[in-house]
Amino acid sequence: MIIENDSSLEIKYDMFKRLNTNSEQLTDQEMRNCIYRGELNDIIKDISKNKDLRDCLNLTPKQADQMLYEEYILRILAFSRQELVSKFLKENTKNYSDKQYLDYFMENYKDDSSFNLEEIKKNMLEYIKIIQSLNKLAKKRIFGIFNNGRFSLSNFDMLSIYIFKKISVDFVDIACEDLYKDYIFFMEDKKEQKGIEKINTSSRQRSLERIKLFNDYINNKK
């Protein structure tokens, strides 16, 4: 069985799913790791080995084996590229999922020479330092403080994409104490939490809308 390089994403995924029907199903990120070989995939895997990052996220061994550290790094990189998000939404007005967008991002950037991979690594290391500072302020892991100590993907998305965009797009220094206070106020604001509940129950673009809600909240406070 041969899969050509120019085969569509749907064909590639379908082939991998068929090949794994009689074995343990690959996760979405494991599938991406097979399909999107290139410098971007390599640097995502390299960053995922960072001990400080792993301590910040504190995933289970099984989740690590399923490449969720890599997927969460990918989420940060992909959702912080607003111009690509906008382009994707214009092309996919009716059908949207996080999986589709993450695949789209990898397809567009897997070997893009304009994508500064060393800059990505430097910004990710700065991001990790900020999360460590927030953990110290919270006296526990920041992504679990409103989820009974368990890692919350939605809270991870909101906070991580905001931080990474400030570092990598806006080139703004982040005051961790101010950000921590703003995050706590946001999570305890009943009006904002009702907005999140509405998004969670009614929107296919819930990740993007949660990220925007948090970003707007912080920016409107300034």
Instruction: Give the pLDDT band (50/70/90) at residue 1.
Output: very low
User: Which of 5-9, 29-33, 69-73, 202-206 has the highest mean predicted lDDT (pLDDT)?
Assistant: 69-73
The 10s digit of each residue's pLDDT in 101-135 is 999 999 888 877 767 888 999 999 999 999 999 99
Residue 177 resides in a domain: yes
How many helices (H) and strands (E) would you count in the chain? 13, 0
Residue 14 resides in a domain: yes
The token duo for 135 is: 């953990």
pLDDT at 66 > cutoff 60? yes
- What pTM was estimated for this model as a whole? 0.86
Domain holding 76, by residue range, is 9-221
Residue 42 resides in a domain: yes
Q: Is residue 4 within 8 Å of residue 74, measured between CB atoms?
A: no
Quick one: what percent of the chain has pLDDT higher than 70?
Answer: 86
Alpha carbon 32 to its chain's center:
14
Nearest CA to 136 among 55, 38, 217?
Answer: 55
Nearest CA to 125 among 89, 86, 156, 164?
Answer: 164
Residue 1 resides in a domain: no
pLDDT at 222 > cutoff 90? no
* Spatial distance between the Cα atoms of 22 and 111, rounded to a whole number of angstroms: 32
Phi-psi group of 8: left, alpha or beta (phi > 0 → left; psi -120 to 50 → alpha; rest → beta): beta
The 10s digit of each residue's pLDDT in 165-213 is 999 877 788 999 999 999 999 999 988 888 888 887 666 678 888 999 9
Question: With 0-12 CB in 10 A as exposed, 13-18 as middle and 19+ as buried, what is 44?
Answer: buried
Residue 4 resides in a domain: no
Residue 2 resides in a domain: no
Residue 133 resides in a domain: yes
Q: What total of structural domains would you count in the chain? A: 1
The 10s digit of each residue's pLDDT in 127-176 is 999 999 999 999 999 999 999 989 999 999 999 999 999 998 777 889 99
Residue 23 resides in a domain: yes
* Spatial distance between the Cα atoms of 218 and 222, rounded to a whole number of angstroms: 7
